[in-house]
């Protein structure tokens, strides 16, 4: 059952995904393939195309994971381009765009796409609703220091630490859906 390959260049994401899949006894190999991502306002489309491409290259069943932070008052920005936005304007840029803005609600979305070579890819969506904090809190990567999930008792993802984050996160929810489907397939 460990012929599944997780494709990612992001070491932090690899750690999270492997830890979550381990809860379902799913083991994966990791491949550092440079993905060819499509530009799209839809995370699903990006992940599906990415999985299809990776499977055709690696010739083994693959999963990839794409995540995006969608801030309501910014019309969904940074959304599917979260990683580029993080690299350029960072958390400080997001906080600046929200200075004095009352509605700080946001959704963190994760899409896990699975593809077997020669087959159509499938995807699984996980969402965590929450808010953007007023300042960066906690040490972590990406937008974790500024995202407060509804189920987080007021803490940011970064303040919660991995163990607690991995119980409730958008990534956990997407991987949980995938795991249920996958374990049913390979039974």
**Shortest reach from residue 182's CB to a copy of itself, in Å:** 26
**Contact (Cβ atoms closer than 8 angstroms) between residue 33 and residue 58:** yes
Matching residue, tokens 């304007």: 89
> Using CB under 8 A as the criterion, what x/- string covers residues 44-73 for binding a copy of itself?
--x---------------------------
How far is residue 5's CA from residue 27's CA, in Å, rounded to a whole number?
Answer: 9
81 lines the binding site for a copy of itself (CB under 8 A):
yes
**Residue 68, both tokens:** 């995006």
Task: Using the rule CB under 8 A, give the single segment among 32-40, 107-115, 128-136, 178-186 that binds a copy of itself.
Answer: 32-40
What are the residues facing 148 on neighbouring strands?
131
Task: Using the rule CB under 8 A, give the single segment among 95-103, 118-126, 129-137, 146-154 that binds a copy of itself.
Answer: 95-103
Question: Given candidates 11, 27, 96, 180, which one binds a copy of itself under the rule CB under 8 A?
Answer: 96
Please, which residue, 41 or 151, has the CB nearer to a copy of itself?
A: 41
187 lines the binding site for a copy of itself (CB under 8 A):
no
**Contact (Cβ atoms closer than 8 angstroms) between residue 111 and residue 45:** no
**Active site residue ranges:** 66
DSSP 83-122: HHHHHHTHHHHHHHHTTT-S--EEEEEEEEEEE-TTS--E
Mapping DSSP to helix (H, G, I), strand (E, B) and coil, where does residue 69 land? strand
Within residues 97-126, the interface with a copy of itself by CB under 8 A covers 97, 99
Site for a copy of itself, rule CB under 8 A = 36-41, 46, 74-81, 84-85, 87-89, 93, 96-97, 99
């Amino acid at each position: 059952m460990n012929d599944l390959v997780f494709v990612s260049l992001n070491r932090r994401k690899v750690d999270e995904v492997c830890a979550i899949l381990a809860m379902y006894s799913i083991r994966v190999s990791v491949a550092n393939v440079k993905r060819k991502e499509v530009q799209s306002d839809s995370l699903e489309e990006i992940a599906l195309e990415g999985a299809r491409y990776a499977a055709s290259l690696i010739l083994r069943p693959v999963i990839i994971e794409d995540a995006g932070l969608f801030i309501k008052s910014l019309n969904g920005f940074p959304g599917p381009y979260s990683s580029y936005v993080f690299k350029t304007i960072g958390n400080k840029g997001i906080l600046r765009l929200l200075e004095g803005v009352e509605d700080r609600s946001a959704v963190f979305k994760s899409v896990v796409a699975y593809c077997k070579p020669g087959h159509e890819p499938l995807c699984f969506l996980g969402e965590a609703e929450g808010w953007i904090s007023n300042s960066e809190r906690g040490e972590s990567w990406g937008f974790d220091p500024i995202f407060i999930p509804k189920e987080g008792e007021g803490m940011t993802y970064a303040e919660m630490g991995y163990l607690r984050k991995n119980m409730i996160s958008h990534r956990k929810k997407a991987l949980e859906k995938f795991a249920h489907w996958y374990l049913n397939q390979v039974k």
